Amino acid sequence: MTRTNPIAISIEVCIVQKLTLWYIVAESPAAECGAWSQILKTILLVLVFVAIAAVAAGAAALTMRGGEPPADAIPASKPSRERSEDASMNSRATVKKVDGALRKISRAAYDVTPLARARVDELARKLKPEEAEVILSKGTERAFCGNLVDNHKDGVYVCRLCGLPLFASDAKFDSGTGWPSFFQPFDKDHVAYVNDSSHGMVRTEILCARCEAHLGHVFEDGPRPTGLRFCLNSVSLEFVEKGTALPESSRPIETQVAYFAGGCFWGVEDRFQQTPGVIDAVSGYMGGRVENPSYKQVCYENTGHAETVKITFDPVVITYKELLAKFFRYHDPTQFNRQGPDYGEQYRSAVFASSAEQEEETRKFIEEQQSSNPKFKARKIVTQVVGADRAGKFFPAEDYHQDYHAKHGGHCAMPEDE
C-alpha cells in the first residue's frame, strides 16, 4: 500500500502538458527542418511517454488500498530489544500443545488463538448497548467523546471484550482527530486487518486478533517511526494503569528462558525461530567482561563474549531438555572456540544456564550424550556450561543481526536437524 503525494502527480501532469506542447511546436511547419529537428522531436516523444507512465503509476499508487498495512511498517513493539528498531518481525507460527490442541502465541508471549464463537458470545453479554454497537456492529463513537482520548497515564490498553493487550501508552500520540491514536500496536500479532469498503470509502479496519472485536481503522498519516495512525474507539478498550495488576485475561502465558551459544548466531537463531514451542529468539552477546558490547568489540577486542541466542519458550509445548537436544543437533559441540569456518572465542559452544536447575540438567545431559551417543564416542564435547550466578547479563545484538535469515534468506552452514 504505497502513498503518493497528489501534488507530485499534478506536477507530473503539468510536465506532460509542457512536453506535448513542445512536440507539437517541433512538428509544426514553422519549425526548422533538418536532422537536429528530427532528433529533438524523437527526444520529446520519448519524454512524453516516460512522463505519462509516471503519472499513471502515481495515480495507481494513490488509489491503491490493501487489507493490511505494509508488513515492514508494523513493529512487534513489546518484546523490547534494547537496541532494536526493526519493524518487520515475523509472525509466530501456530504450535501444537501436548494435548493435541492448536494455539498461536505472540512474541510478547500471549495466547492469540482465535476464540470460538460460543466464547465470544459469552463475553459479549457483559457489554453495554453503546459498547456492543461499536465492538460487535462496527460502529464509531463520536469524535472527542471517548473517555480515553485525553488519557496521558502510563499503562496498557486492552481489548474490552477479551482482555488482550492491544496498545501501550508509550505509542500513544495526540492526532487531533478526536479518537485515541497510536503509532504501533503492543504486538503486531495482537491486531488483525480487514478491508473495509463501507460508507463509500476504502479503508483498513483493525480488529482484536483473538476475539475479532472491532477497534477502529489504521491510516498512513502517523508519526515516525512507523508512519501509521491506529485510530481507536475508546469503548473498544480498557485502560490498565502501570503498577496495577493485569486481569487474568490480560496476562501472558508462563514462559522460560534459555541461552545457547553455538557459533554464528544468525543460523542458531533462525533454527530456533522455526522450532515449535519457541516463542522468540534474539541474537546477542553473553559471557564476557564488557558492558553492552558492540559487534566490532566482540570480534576484535577480546571482550570474552560469545555470540549467544536468548530463547523464550513455552514449557507446555517444549521442555528445556528437548531444547538442549535441538541445540546439540543444530551445532557441533565438539569444536573448541570455533564453529565450521568461524574461528575465535566468540564462536565457542556454551550454555548459559538461567537457573540452578537448568545448569544441573545441562551437565547431566552432556554426560549422557558423551557416554551413550555414538556420534560423540570418539569426540569430546567441549561445550562450556556457565551457571546463572556467573553467566552475566545478556546484551541484544545490533538490529541488523536480528532475524537475519528471515530478512535476507540463505543460511549459515549448520548440521542438519535429525
Give the H or E element holding residue 311.
Answer: strand 306-313
Backbone phi, psi, residue 113, to 5°: -60, 130
C-alpha separations of 187 from 78, 88, 112, 384 in Å = 6, 12, 11, 35
Who's near 139: CB < 8 A, 6+ residues apart?
133, 214, 233
Beta-bridge partners for 241: 155
Q: Check pLDDT > 80 for residue 256.
A: yes
Query: Any idea which of 29-33, 172-176, 368-372 has the lowest mean pLDDT?
Result: 29-33
Question: What pLDDT sits at residue 9?
Answer: 43
Q: Check pLDDT > 50 for residue 82.
A: no
H helical segments located in 263-310: 265-273, 295-300
Overall average pLDDT of the 2-21 stretch: 43
Backbone phi, psi, residue 10, to 5°: -60, -40
In CATH, what number does 256-408 get? 3.30.1060.10
Q: Check pLDDT > 50 for residue 242.
A: yes
Per-residue pLDDT band for 290 (boundaries 50, 70, 90) equals very high
Annotated domain spans of the chain: 6-63, 94-250, 256-408
pTM exceeds cut of 0.75: no
Overall average pLDDT of the 107-123 stretch: 95
Overall average pLDDT of the 110-134 stretch: 96
pLDDT digits (tens, 9 = 90+) for 341-365: 899 999 999 999 999 999 999 999 9
Beta-bridge partners for 195: 204
Question: What pLDDT sits at residue 388?
Answer: 79
Distance CA 321, CA 36 (A): 80
Per-residue pLDDT band for 406 (boundaries 50, 70, 90) equals confident
- Which of 312, 364, 306 shows the shortest CA–CA distance to 339? 306
Active-site positions?
231, 264
Q: Tell me if 339 sits within 8 A of 331, measured CB to CB.
A: yes
In CATH, what number does 94-250 get? 2.170.150.20
Q: Tell me if 269 sits within 8 A of 288, measured CB to CB.
A: no
Beta-bridge partners for 307: 285
